[in-house]
Structure 1
Amino acid sequence: MRQLTIFRKTVWASMVGLVMAAPPICAAPVSFDNDACTNPSAEARLRQRETAVLGPGHAESHAKARAKQCRVAKGLEKAPTPDEQVLAAASAQATNTAGQWSAPFVIPVVGITAVLLHTGKVLFWSYEPTQYHNPEASNTGVAYLWDSRTRTGYAITPPENIWCAGQTILSDGRVFIAGGNLRYPDPNAPEGQQNFRGALSSYTFNPLSETWTAQPNMSVGRWYPTATRLADNRVVITSGLDETGSGNTTAVVEVFTPAASMDGVGTMSVVSLHDPSGMYPFQYLLSSGQMMQAGPAFYNTLLLTPGSWSWSSIPNLLSSHYEYANGVLYTDASVTPVKQVVMIAGGAEGDSAFRNNEWFDVGNPNAGWRQFPQWLQPRHNANTVILPDGTLFTVGGNAASNGYDNPHFDSELYNKPAGDPTGSWISMSPNTIQAGYHSSAILLPDATVLLSQDDMNPLATSTHQAQVYSPPYLFKGARPSITSAPGTVSLGQTFTVGSSTPNVSSVALVAPGAVTHGNDMHQRYIKLRYTKQGAKNLRVTLPASSSLVPPGYYMLFVIDSQGVPSVAKFVRIS
């Protein structure tokens, strides 16, 4: 199954020109129209390869998807759009229970990766569209900074093609990036070396100076790795296709130790070996200080213990979550004992997406994985975002066997906090941009959600769009505001937060998102304990454990008795 998953990803990528007819030496840049759409011999070779590996039926569906994408790219067919009646019905209730989407606006980069910085800006990066799948220009990428306050942005130059890397955010706000695209598939490479090659490089991005710093190379290349920050600010890096072009997923586990300086160079070390069962495995720092790795295979459910770097088993998932599922980590520190839950949702098996959402109670591991309320629609390639009130918002993805057919425009809201498995999913207002594959969704400081368009037409970056979703809680009345809060707080500290209203129902920290392919490697929600002090002041207490609250920047939200959240204030946990 692992090799089949790798092959599927390669096949989907081929929709924009996996097989090149030109020789690799002095080859012209890949043209979407000239290669994938009008080269019968290239299409025939790819079809033959798919038929041998996936079977004739599956190969046929992929061929149809490629043909459709070519027609859209040429302007002969429009990309799918939400049904007008669905839009009209959603619009009628957009001001009460379904939320509301902004008009689409242009962000001239495919939002394959999105990272929220504590400056309020969102860092996007992607492949360079004019060189997409050109083996001779594999290391060219693009990046873009979008300001969530002004809703304007500008291009910046990435250090290389960090598309399909792993990323997280360090305690001082730097973004850490591991791996990326060393080389696109090259049919002219030696047999057994024609697949994607993962980059060995790693970088940090300073959000204040908006500059990149090269960090030490890893021992192996990684394309689609997962990067998980531990309680002590070190980062565990797992999985990803290696640098050989063989299509093999690496079993090498490495740890990055950051330098103290924002622009300093840290160290990289190999600490363990473990087959991750697939690319972009789901990983979470748990209250014990151990790191959970769960999926994509149902049997890949283990804990990694820092220091000894040994792996121990926990109960298996109920099912596998191949083909881009998503997951969340929810912590309620307002109760004793603290409750912590992991929820993993969606993905695909075979030729279709499914709803197999499941959850794991970290405090009761013997109970194993249990079924979580199921989505209204089966999805893979979707994004699930934790909102300030602890509820979950799922958007985008599709229900087909490839990344672009049958895209979902209807979004869903889980109506209880993620730690409560007794809730249900409710249909929300549909987005109008297509977000079927290579799309990202991320929570903004004003409690809205930013959604980027997919890359159905990878060359149309000048018209690439995004939308902002306002959840139903923003239509319930006036918003509370945080009138005062410290900029820095220590673990275990009790501190004062001023609120514009005495009617507060909860206080929460939400870590900034760092998402790609539905896998948010930094998303974390922590509900805090508090008491009222006077009419509008709150005495809020942080847990003392760095495993529960890894030091770093968080969005602090106050939610009133009507369920309406404030605009967040960024605080740094030291």
Structure 2
Amino acid sequence: MTPRPRPTITRRLLTALTTILAMAAVVVVNRPIVVLATDRYHEFAINRQSYKETFGHWSLLPVPAHFKINAIHAALLKTGKVLIIAGSGNNRQNFEAGTFRTIVWDPRTDGFTDVPTPTDLFCAGHTFLADGKLLVAGGTKSYEVLEKDITHAAGVMKIKNESPDFGARAFPKGTRLRADDGRVYVTRADVSVPAATKMWHGAQTMVHAGEAEVWVDAAEAGDGPIVKEPGQYSIEGLKGDDTRNLYGIAEKITRDKQEYGGDKTTYEFDPDTERYVRTGDLSKPRWYPTLATLAGGDILAVSGLDQFGRMIPGTNERYQVKKKKWVPAPSLRRTFPTYPALFLTRDERLFFSGSNAGYGSATEGRTPGLWDVKKNKFQPVYGLRDGSMTETSASVMLPPAQDQKVMIMGGGAVGDSPVSTARTAIADLDDPRPVWTAGPDLPNPTRYLSTVVLPDDTVFTSGGSSGYRGGPYRGRQRSDLLTAQIYDVRGNAFRKAASPSVGRNYHSEALLLPDGRVVTMGSDPIYDRSGKNPGVFEQRIEIYSPPYLFQKNRPVAPTGPSLVKRGEKASFATPDAARIASARLVRPSAVTHGTDVDQRSIALGVRPAPGGVTLSFPEKRGLVPAGWYMLFLMDGAGTPSPAKWVRVR
């Protein structure tokens, strides 16, 4: 019998391996050749079809130089484009120059466009509205000042107006206030102080002073003007009754570090015009807030730092979508650390997983639990291992959302602690008294982990670091983790995914694209690779293609209505109708600082129909908030189609 010729791919494999072994043999005389051989074999291995089918594949996105920005926020728009917001990008020079950046990337063409950015949206909050616009609220009004850079004592001065008779009183920037000992303090900004108000209690008239706050700096440098006790200050230049009715009060004036100050401006970003549209101001300036969608469609803003860098102590507010107006929500008083992860549940409560981005009390407001926003009642959820290490952790509502399970992954101790955890845990919110149960550990202790819900009911996790902002951890100078895993919800286990080439830690993002890929960007390490010099913001963008994209006969995207209603059915055409086994609605991401409260995957009922499928949409608004979603169809092997955009009402 004539021997059959070996396939060409086998000959190529043998040739490659022979070459690698031959090159490795010269290790003693030429070490760099061995490194080159190892790199070539790695490239060969990760580009094999069988490898991609099992582990997926990474690729770097070619970004033109002009569009390389510091990605602080990212959101997938209903147009399929990705909004990337830098604002000042954690760069003081940009802030002082008023240079704020936003770009839009189109994954279909890899085209980029600039978007005019009116204020510094660095560290704002955001979430999608039902019409597909992205609500962006807050941001940066002032940058932090470190203690070593503070030459003049400073503090917050409360200007009081005890006169109800002459309206508000305006004081320009540079107004001088004098202490009893003669020391002078100068206002940093213009300030308007409202008039006092009269209130009657029976026959007695009470006057409540109007007040406004403003930063002041000591006119004299050094420690002399430091004041550690509350005091009253007279305003220079006043005469007559004004000298008695108008004055300043400060709790303390110090040379302590000054935190970032929050802004109060808000916008709706319109995906169709790709422009920011100004809306009503926040009731309180906020930096590092979370915006959470309520079941009725309005938005709740919680937490953050105010304009003076102080934690906002449980004062929350509501965005009335129809009026485009923010109003205080005094009945919903609840304290959270900054960027708390809040998930809307089927019964219309908000679940706080404990995940947060850092600022706030080390104890108050960090307990996970279910918040009833109708009665302002909070039901704690206990049992979390490493419960003090929820800062910079990741949280995700596991797919499908009908199961009402939320998973927390990794995290670290409060502040810039080098301590982190590999712990994961799951809370079943359908349980009347939910508790945390242990999940499988991550491969490494991890902060800043990115989590992305995939349409096949798995969760892709990547990046992060074991140390604070990628810094030292257990003797290593840099602790970025060039690893990725896929969490199998049904099997309750992680499986290895292809490794990224770019490390990601603080200020990094990842989100699902309509074609089923995952884009990752950002990272703001505290040190460079030597561990001695300041870090440089990572501007490369890397894209992960999951294993399902390398399977044969992937279903095509469905066609059909772009508007569906909760609790009803709708038919969609597909040539793959005979093999469609499931369907998922995936809400697009709006992510920053590891916080993504928008993404969720909802299972739909599937029934065969002539030339396609009929899908049933759940009716509960807590499960399916109104808005735009990606609709994926899956075959029996779990291979998803590209998405079709649909709006749910």
Note if 1:518 corresponds to 2:594: yes
**Is the contact between residue 184 and residue 195 of structure 1 (CA under 8 Å) also seen in structure 2?**
yes
Distance 1:87 1:363, change over 3 A: farther
Alignment of structure 1 residues 259-408 onto 2, 5 Å: 259=322, 265-272=324-331, 274=333, 276-296=335-355, 300-315=367-382, 317-318=384-385, 319-330=387-398, 332=400, 338-349=402-413, 350-404=417-471, 405-408=478-481
Aligned to 2:643: 568
1:96 maps onto 2:165 in alignment: no
Counterpart position of 1:239: 303
Q: Deviations over 1:106-146 (max 9, x none)?
A: 251122210000011110111435x8135972864211100
Paired with 1:240 and 1:444, the residues of 2 have a C-alpha distance of 29
How far apart in 2 are the matches of 1:249 and 1:357?
29
2:140 aligned with 1:181: yes
Q: Is this contact kept in 2: 1:217–1:268, CA < 8 A?
A: no
Residues 111 and 439 in structure 1, CA contact (< 8 A), matched pair in contact too: yes
* TM-fit CA distance, 1:474: 1.0
Question: Which residue pairs with 1:411 in the alignment?
Answer: 484
Aligned 1:110-509 pairs, distance under 5 A: 110-128=70-88, 132-134=91-93, 137=96, 140-187=99-146, 188=150, 190=154, 191=254, 194-246=258-310, 248-259=311-322, 265-272=324-331, 274=333, 276-296=335-355, 300-315=367-382, 317-318=384-385, 319-330=387-398, 332=400, 338-349=402-413, 350-404=417-471, 405-414=478-487, 416-417=488-489, 420=490, 422-456=491-525, 464-501=539-576, 502-509=578-585
| Alignment map for 1:73-112 (pairs within 5 Å) | 84=39, 89-92=45-48, 94-106=51-63, 107-112=67-72
Cα distance 1:539–1:217, how it changes in 2: closer, same or farther (>3 A)?
A: same
Relative contact order, higher structure (CA 8 A, sep 6+): 1
Q: Is the aligned partner of 1:558 residue 2:633?
A: yes
* Matched position secondary structure for 2:398: strand
Code of the residue aligned with 2:330 in structure 1: it is V
Q: What are the superposed Cα offsets for residues 52-104 of structure 1, whole Å, 9 maximum, x if unpaired?
A: xxxxxxxxxxxxxxxxxxxxxxxxxxxxxxx9587665445532211011234
Residue type of the partner of 1:508?
R
Q: Residues 268, 206 of structure 1: CA spacing in aligned structure 2 closer, same or farther, 3 A cutoff?
A: farther
| In structure 2, C-alpha distance between the alignment counterparts of 1:116 and 1:505, rounded to whole Å | 26
User: Could you say what secondary structure the match of 1:96 adopts?
Assistant: helix
1:122-180 deviation per Cα after TM superposition (whole angstroms, max 9, x unaligned) = 10111435x81359728642111001211111111222111111110000001011211
Letter of the 1:163 counterpart: F
The SS at the match of 1:102 is: strand
- 1:282 Cα deviation (Å)? 1.0
TM norm structure 2: 0.69
User: Counterpart of 1:532?
Assistant: 608
Classify the secondary structure of the residue corresponding to 2:52: coil
Partner SS, residue 473 of structure 1? helix
Shift of 1:316: 5.5
Distance change in 2, residues 1:459/1:142 (3 Å) = farther
Contact 1:134 1:184 in 2 (8 A): no
Which letter does structure 2 place at the counterpart of 1:527? A
Map Cα deviations across residues 366-410 of structure 1 (whole Å, 9 max, x no partner). 241111222222211121000011101011111113335311111
Deviation at 1:287, TM superposition (A): 0.4
Question: Aligned partners of 1:432, 1:477: CA distance in 2, in Å?
Answer: 27
Q: Give the letter for the 2:353 counterpart.
A: A
Q: Secondary structure at the match of 1:518?
A: coil
Identity of aligned residues (%): 30
1:345–1:88 distance in 2 versus 1, CA, 3 Å: farther
CA distance in 2, matches of 1:237, 1:294: 17
Alpha-carbon deviations, 1:497-541, whole Å to 9, x = none? Answer: 22221112210000000001111121111111212224x521211
Higher gyration radius (CA):
2
SS of alignment partner, residue 544 of structure 2: strand
Q: Please identify, of 265-274 and 521-530, the stretch whose mean Cα deviation from structure 2 is larger.
A: 265-274
Q: What one-letter code is carried by the residue in structure 1 that aligns with 2:485?
A: E
SS at match of 2:404: strand
C-alpha distance in 1, partners of 2:604/2:431? 21
Structure 2 alignment gaps of length 5 or more: 1-37, 155-253, 356-362, 472-477, 529-533
- Partners of 2:351 and 2:370 within 8 A in 1: yes
Distance change in 2, residues 1:306/1:323 (3 Å): closer
Tell me how far 1:277 sits from its aligned partner: 4.3
With normalisation by structure 1, the TM-score equals 0.77
Structure 2: distance between partners of 1:403 and 1:515:
20
1:408 maps to amino acid: L
Relative to structure 1, the CA distance from residue 135 to residue 100 in structure 2 (aligned partners, 3 Å threshold; closer, same or farther) is closer
Matches of 1:344 and 1:469, distance apart in 2 = 22
Partners of 1:198 and 1:243 within 8 A in 2: yes
Asked whether the equivalents of residues 451 and 459 of structure 2 are also in contact (C-alpha less than 8 Å), the reply is yes
The one-letter code of the counterpart of 1:563 is G
> For 2:53 and 2:451, how far apart are their aligned partners in 1?
22
Q: Deviations over 1:346-370 (max 9, x none)?
A: 1112413211111111111424111
Q: CA deviation at 1:299?
A: 5.1
CA contact (8 A) 1:139 1:182 kept: no
SS in 1 for 2:548: helix
Q: 1:452 and 1:105 mapped to 2: Cα distance?
A: 13
Distance 1:455 1:179, change over 3 A: same
Instruction: Using the TM superposition, give the Cα deviation of residue 560 of structure 1 relative to its aligned residue in structure 2, in angstroms.
Output: 1.0
The Cα shift of 1:467 comes to 1.6
Q: Specify the alignment match of 1:80 in structure 2.
A: none
Give the whole-Å Cα distance in 1 for the aligned partners of 2:332 and 2:348.
19
Preserved CA contact (<8 Å) 1:299 1:317 = no
Structure-2 change in CA distance of 1:513 and 1:480 (3 Å): same
| Alpha carbons of structure 1 residues 272 and 356: separation in structure 2 relative to 1, 3 Å | farther
Going from structure 1 to structure 2, the CA distance change for 1:97 and 1:143 (only over 3 Å counts) comes to: same
Amino acid at match of 2:320: T
Where do residues 31-70 of structure 1 align in structure 2 (5 Å cutoff)?
none
> d(CA) in 1 for partners of 2:615 and 2:553?
23
Amino acid at match of 1:151: D
Q: Which residue of 2 aligns with 1:13?
A: none
- CA apart distance, 1:314: 3.9
Moved more, 109-118 or 83-92: 83-92
Structure 1: distance between partners of 2:95 and 2:115: 22
Work out the number of aligned pairs and report it: 476
Contact 2:88 2:122 in 1 (8 A): no
* Segment of structure 1 superposing worse, 520-529 or 443-452: 520-529
Q: 1:321 to 1:513 in 2, by over 3 A?
A: farther
